[in-house]
Amino acid sequence: DAGITQSPRHKVTETGTPVTLRCHQTENHRYMYWYRQDPGHGLRLIHYSYGVKDTDKGEVSDGYSVSRSKTEDFLLTLESATSSQTSVYFCAIGGRVDEKLFFGSGTQLSVL
Amino acid sequence: SQQGEEDPQALSIQEGENATMNCSYKTSINNLQWYRQNSGRGLVHLILIRSNEREKHSGRLRVTLDTSKKSSSLLITASRAADTASYFCATDDSSNTGKLIFGQGTTLQVKP
């Protein structure tokens, strides 16, 4: 999958606990994105990064934070997980703004 | 809010038939992309068409773009059982950040 690794692949957690998902790339791409996929909603952008320490919000950013301290890693944190954050989370990378994205295999997160 | 809306939401055809999926979007774009997702997997890029292009081909795929109607179509010719998947259109938002806004997708089933 184009040098993208998401971890963990599956996670079950309890409401109120913090959760961090990791996206690691070996492509040296500048742009990284976190999406969530839910039935009936397609993919929705949570946060994205356009460089080290440069991040911005997407359309569904409430309850999420991100960090990118080095080019290859983009972390998504749920500070206090809620059941509404049960979803499949996908990381994507891109080298240029007008080209295709490469997606990771996803993380299935269940918040009980 | 969704930028792209796919139609139909689900499509079932026999092997050998053609499959056509449509996508409508709301705002000006630089490019429109189509992605495929097999069940439980990440998205895979199929084809990108730029706003100044009207038609593009890739193997059995044909994509058209009508910017005056803000719509695109994906045609898969001579479909195979292996084409069974969900197909998503995605548009950039002209912000030059590489962000893609996805539609809800069309689920295609190709019966052998």
What are B51-89's pLDDT values in tens digits?
999 999 999 999 999 999 999 999 999 999 999 999 999
For all residues of chain A together, what is the average pLDDT?
Answer: 94
Burial call A47-83: b when 16+ CB within 10 Å, e when fewer: bbbbeeeebeebebbeebebebeeebebbbbbeebee
Taking contacts as CB-CB distances below 8 angstroms, the residues of chain A near B33 are 100-101
CB atoms within 10 A of CB A9: 11
**Which 3 state secondary structure label does DSSP give A9?**
coil
pLDDT digits (tens, 9 = 90+) for A38-51: 987 889 999 999 99
User: B85: part of which helix (H) or strand (E)?
Assistant: strand B85-92
Question: Nearest-CA residue of chain B relative to A89?
Answer: B42
Asked if B105 and A42 come within 8 Å (Cβ–Cβ), the reply is yes
Taking contacts as CB-CB distances below 8 angstroms, the residues of chain B near A59 are 1, 101
Question: Nearest-CA residue of chain A relative to B42?
Answer: A105
Confidence of residue B32 (pLDDT cuts 50, 70, 90): very high
Asked if A97 and B100 come within 8 Å (Cβ–Cβ), the reply is no
